[in-house]
Amino acid sequence: MFSDAMKLPASSNLRTIDQTVFSQVGSLVLKVYKDESVKLPADVLLNEQASAYNALIARAENPSDTEELLSLVPWLEARLRKSLKTTDGSKRTEKRLV
């Protein structure tokens, strides 16, 4: 519809990805999954990175503030670890029930 990103309407809700933050989130996701001995295919890993980035953006008061986003990285790490442990624990419970 819009061949040139510069011609997007001013009222558009589209935001560009903050490459610094996305890179930081991607590294964090890789680290957490490696620490927890979880291996994912590349496409699933990319989805996890995008999901984590979106969670970070949603948590921020000002999603365009790089400093604020980077300050939320420790929160994101705790959230990822908790999510993995909860998922792992529920899988163990399901296996015991079977």
- Examine the pLDDT at 11 and tell me if it is beyond 80: no
Task: Work out the mean pLDDT of the chain and round it to a whole number.
Answer: 83
Residues 6+ apart with CB under 8 A from 57: 15, 63, 69
12-16, 21-25, 39-43, 51-55: segment of lowest average pLDDT: 12-16
Give the model's pLDDT for residue 97: 38
| Domain boundaries along the sequence of the chain | 16-97
Could you tell me which of 14, 32, 28, 33 has the C-alpha nearest to residue 69?
28
What are φ and ψ of residue 15, in 5° steps?
A: -125, 150
Collapsing DSSP to helix, strand or coil, 16 comes out as: coil
Query: Which pLDDT tens digit goes with each residue over 68-77?
Result: 999 999 999 9
For residue 92 the two structure tokens come to: 């163990």
